[in-house]
Structure 1
Amino acid sequence: MKTTQRPGWTPSRLREHREAHGLTLEAAGERLRQAASGHGLAVPAANFQTIWSHEQGAVYPGPHYRRAYCLLYQATEPELGFRPPLPGESQKAEIMISDLPAPADPAADNAAAQVIEEAFTKVSVGDISSGSPQALLRNRVVDAWRRRHGGGSPKPILVLVGGYAGSGKTEFSRFLSDITGWAFLDKDSLTRCIVERLLISLGGDPHDRHTELYLKEVRPFEYRCLMETAWDNLKVGTSAILSAPFIAELKDEEWFARLENRCAAKGVDVAAIWVRCDPESMREYIEFRGAARDAWKLENWEQYVAGLDVETSPPTAHVTVDNRLGSAISLADQTREALKRILS
């Protein structure tokens, strides 16, 4: 892929960062693999030919490479020249590790809580005012961190993280779970095998996610399994983060009101997060994961995208996370690294 196909891409920035770190092409590849492996990402081949092609602009790095580069060089995508910054997005990583207390400092937990609070604020769309749903959920996330370190409220919370395919909702859910210790429940991981077998038994395509057969006969049970698993956790006081599209659910204010009422009756808080992303980035993520269930979307991309509303959040969403061009997930990676440096 040529540079002209990626507006704002400056491949030479990668070489500049590699040389500033004193790395050869081979050493950069090894460090890149280590960075990916250490953060649970798909480990890239990262041989010296690939690194060279990225630095020369012959091949635009895929999402797993870009995340690994950001972790390796402790920099953002705009800083590494992958793209221009979004409006209001800093080109510099504002989490300065050297300014935070040393791990043995008694204030380390407070410093970590501040990093988490700042990261949550940055990825959320719009201002977070005191007492708003965004501020309340942010406080719960920080509270969960403190609870894992000896304090915090025991009241459980149910968090729904929704978004279109490839929006980054699963990665953002993992990030929240890493910080809070809340149970992470992914719809596909829980139900995919059963869904595929049920579709086959009904005479359908196991990878169907768009026909009436799936939408009417299978999808309701898929989401019911997800919600029942969440209730099993909440009943024993374990907060849960659910990752699923939740497109129909979060658009249905009556459905969400019933959920809020059920949670209130059981002494459980509830919050909804919508992960917003641009179509080009979503397609890139979908192509990278290579899931059979996405085949129809990719084969009928224009038709599929025409049915998406990427500019508007569902009316029930308490927080909208801006993951256009992967910006929120990149910040999440840096926040994880910052917390490791503070507390390790």
Structure 2
Amino acid sequence: MLSLVAGYAGSGKSEFSRFLSSVTGWALLDKDSLTCALAERLLTSLGGDPHDRHTDLYLREVRPLEYQCLLESAFDNLRAGTSVILTAPFVAELADPEWTSGLNKRCAAIGIDVAVLWVRCDNESMRAHIERRGAARDAWKLANWDTYARGLDSDNGPATAHIGIDNRQGTAIDLIRQARESLRSMQGRLNVRS
């Protein structure tokens, strides 16, 4: 099983993924943990800001490599028989039907089911999460919050089939319960065994 835990920055993807991993025992690969140090070094080498996550330099030269490393690490685990939870925004990828089709075909070729879990969060809650974590890579978002937030569609998930996770502040359903419910939903929809 390959589970993509996706959503906007600050939506709570990493926290939810940790809960899902604790419920399933599946390997957890978080884009930030796996690629952040390399991305910062590459950005610096290219003459950019190591904490940039919004300019053309990052989007063109670094981001594609981050996702390539993340996916190849996942497939190393999948080929070894280990189910994987991938945590990253996946916003552009899930909006691209060719990308999702290609991923589904690649997984089907080796007998792997794919589930997309979208962590939904309102803009105010995302901002609060981003402020709490205090990561340097979020400085531009916080300094330009109105501009950044205008580009978000926090009311809707991706067009691709997905399981919705609600992580708004004050949500009555806790994430560990949603992780268990998501696992049951994946098992029911995809007829897989945990």
- Decide: shared fold, TM above 0.5: yes
Residue of structure 2 in register with 1:254 after alignment: 98
Gaps of 5+ in 2: 181-194
Give distance in 2, aligned partners of 1:241 and 1:328.
25
Q: Contact 1:274–1:317 at 8 Å: present in 2 too?
A: no
Query: Structure 1 stretches (4+) deviating beyond 6 angstroms?
Result: 333-336
Residues 87-236 of structure 1 aligned to structure 2 (within 5 Å): 157-236=1-80
Residues 251-290 of structure 1 aligned to structure 2 (within 5 Å): 251-290=95-134
- Residue type matched to 2:153 in 1? D
SS in 2 for 1:327: coil
- TM-score normalised over the length of structure 2: 0.89
Specify whether residues 334 and 264 from structure 1 end up closer, same or farther in structure 2 by C-alpha distance, changes over 3 A only: closer
Cα distance, 1:236 vs structure 2:
0.6
Q: Contact 2:94–2:160 at 8 Å: present in 1 too?
A: yes
- TM-score normalised over the length of structure 1: 0.51
Which structure is richer in relative contact order (CA contacts within 8 A, separation 6 or more)? 2
Give distance in 2, aligned partners of 1:250 and 1:315.
7
For 1:239-289, what per-residue CA distance to the aligned partner results, in whole angstroms no more than 9, with x for missing partners?
000000000001111110111011111111111111110111101110000
Cα distance, 1:234 vs structure 2:
0.2
Q: Contact 1:321–1:328 at 8 Å: present in 2 too?
A: no
Equivalent of 1:306 in 108, 133, 150: 150
Give distance in 2, aligned partners of 1:305 and 1:320.
20
Q: Contact 1:168–1:329 at 8 Å: present in 2 too?
A: no
SS in 1 for 2:85: strand
Give distance in 2, aligned partners of 1:271 and 1:335.
13
SS in 1 for 2:171: helix
Q: Contact 1:208–1:214 at 8 Å: present in 2 too?
A: yes
Cα distance, 1:317 vs structure 2:
3.6
Give distance in 1, aligned partners of 2:4 and 2:16.
11
Which has a greater percent of strand? 2
Identity %: 68
Give distance in 1, aligned partners of 2:172 and 2:31.
21
Give distance in 1, aligned partners of 2:178 and 2:163.
21
Number of residue-to-residue matches in the alignment? 180
